[in-house]
Structure 1
């Protein structure tokens, strides 16, 4: 019997060999390359999409905005077709020409979304020069979680975080950008994301006051649950909103949830399509599919995250969500917050 190598040296077999090599590639011609946060596309949902579209979905997961930016811009967006990004971050992808306009006509399930997510022009960062660059998918509002045994009257204002009766009983998120925005919002500053030079001293003083009420700080949802229960917190700024509420209740905590009358800061994640996408039709189909009932319910039931199709139980239609926007100077906010976090006084915090 002649060896395979010998057969390949004859013109008779070379064509069959090349076909065998190319067939797997041809079979996977409709491949969608997705860059996603964990929990946004569970395996069973991906399989359902693949079966429906006769495609293959390759998912890469990231865990930070910095990692997302690095992966997308590494090869000018050529490595992925569609990715999940929040509205505050989306704007720099638009400026860098890394994302393509989205054809809303190819995503008919947007008609199923709640009114606040169909009013695209009212959500900062989505529309640029009349073109849409992101479709809302999931979000979390930063409400107030409180111990129902210790707080008999639910808080109605952000000011509760500064209430002297809660000195040393408030659990806070360890994040410079959000804490400055929250503080500016509590002071009635119209744009808490763009502080003017003259506003910094007052905001710093107010944030130092919040620091005095702190029982502790957290960065991740699971960590906040452990600290809330172990340290006996009375009130917590819920940076992850309903996700933390679900985790605490699952752990047996008797907690309530309140949305401040001033409105609540909220992050909104969208799906965006890269300018270098190889199959934009499949990318549009992916976004459309994830707005269906099953994927939307999975976000809520499995992840404790809100979807854009159903009004979550902890929110009322009248509750005002203040979507995050890019801030004036993230580096300065971080530098000042580190000093505040360390317990420095205002004069030292603001020192050059």
Structure 2
């Protein structure tokens, strides 16, 4: 009996000592407390690491995560890295594929997840009206005076004397074509219906196709807003025209990356798209070109806005100031091929690049674009577009 008790005591002593050793080593307490967006599977690549905050005089000592909900291409490591290093934070991004998806994510609980969003001009005003975004203190945006006045003067993100959005980029919904296949630049959107390109056309999975057909109908010749406020009869005409196009469609693209792949794989030769696609695909030796058809084009102005329920509003405003600096805007233009808001970015560009993104003649080029406006009957437009796809 005594021998057995001694053995038990010996074992207990060993276990007690082992527990003390584990406690000293911190065993079993290594949980990751870093925040991630709800859809972190679609986040931008984690290629930019944080620097030691002590090495940067203006870096934050308390590590934070800034969550972006943004269009594809707006969280490229090429320009995100500089902000992460400056403030000792981590930037993550979730991409949305349409304005409707952005609104859906915010209303579906994303308001507590995301800090900065990049809505286009068709829903920016709606977000202000719905009280989903916070006012921005212009005094905290040191680069504000450098932004194109044509963009900062727009009233849709202003309410009760407060400003809710800062212009970031802008651009067209161009007709993009493979110039190695189509030797003569198309002059009309009607080329999409040309039988010789059957199965070689792609358009965006979005209600903006209704705007396009509205332009083909000549609705915006006297009133740019007419294509965003079509009557029921006009919507039915647009629906018929889009259904006729279905036999020509290879695929409705959902993201810019998907459109890039369709061109890269030579599945299509014609599409509605953004400058991001030619600038990306042509780096591989291809020859994609953009044109403005005779019927005209629509376009977008993307703002940066702070989500009202963001827990990082001060950091979010710092990010916006960084994103619209001339240096960052130059990199954004490098990556996307989009027009940028800071006119001083032109000083950092070659003459060729400034011309390609139209920062050298912004006022004149913008006159060729019917920029997206808020669609009051957006549900009706979505219903028409869903009926087109269902045919």
TM-score after normalising by structure 1? 0.72
Aligned to 1:192, the other structure's residue is in SS state helix
Cα pair distance change 1:262/1:30, threshold 3 Å: farther
Q: How does 1:17-56 map to 2 (within 5 A)?
A: 31=64, 33-37=66-70, 39-43=73-77, 45-46=79-80, 48-50=82-84, 52=86, 54=87, 56=89
Cα pair distance change 1:101/1:197, threshold 3 Å: same
Assess if the C-alpha contact under 8 Å between 2:169 and 2:303 holds in 1. yes
**Aligned equivalents of 1:339 and 1:34: distance in 2?**
35
Cα pair distance change 1:59/1:98, threshold 3 Å: same
Assess if the C-alpha contact under 8 Å between 1:139 and 1:307 holds in 2. yes
Assess if the C-alpha contact under 8 Å between 1:126 and 1:133 holds in 2. yes
Cα pair distance change 1:96/1:112, threshold 3 Å: same
Of the three residues 237, 256, 265, the one matched with 2:272 is: 237
Q: How many angstroms does 1:134 deviate by?
A: 0.9
Aligned to 2:356: 313
Cα pair distance change 1:114/1:156, threshold 3 Å: farther
Answer yes or no: is 1:189 the counterpart of 2:222: no
| 1:102-154 C-alpha deviation (Å, 9 max, x unpaired) | 23333231333345423323xxx322344321111134421112232444442
Aligned to 1:86, the other structure's residue is in SS state coil
Assess if the C-alpha contact under 8 Å between 1:82 and 1:274 holds in 2. yes
Aligned to 1:298, the other structure's residue is in SS state helix
Aligned to 1:83: 117
Answer yes or no: is 1:202 the counterpart of 2:234: no
**Aligned equivalents of 2:89 and 2:180: distance in 1?**
51
Q: How many angstroms does 1:196 deviate by?
A: 1.0
Aligned to 2:13: none
Aligned to 1:118: 152
Of the three residues 250, 273, 280, the one matched with 2:306 is: 273
Aligned to 1:347: none
- Between 290-299 and 148-157, the greater mean CA deviation after superposition: 148-157
Answer yes or no: is 1:131 the counterpart of 2:165: no
Aligned to 1:100: 134
Assess if the C-alpha contact under 8 Å between 1:137 and 1:270 holds in 2. yes
TM-score after normalising by structure 2? 0.66
| 1:44-66 C-alpha deviation (Å, 9 max, x unpaired) | 645533554x5635535343556
Aligned to 2:74, the other structure's residue is in SS state coil
Cα pair distance change 1:249/1:80, threshold 3 Å: closer
Aligned to 2:42: none
Assess if the C-alpha contact under 8 Å between 1:87 and 1:268 holds in 2. yes
Give the gaps of 5 or more residues in structure 2.
1-16, 18-59, 221-225, 347-353
Assess if the C-alpha contact under 8 Å between 1:171 and 1:228 holds in 2. no
Aligned to 2:68, the other structure's residue is in SS state strand
Assess if the C-alpha contact under 8 Å between 2:133 and 2:305 holds in 1. yes
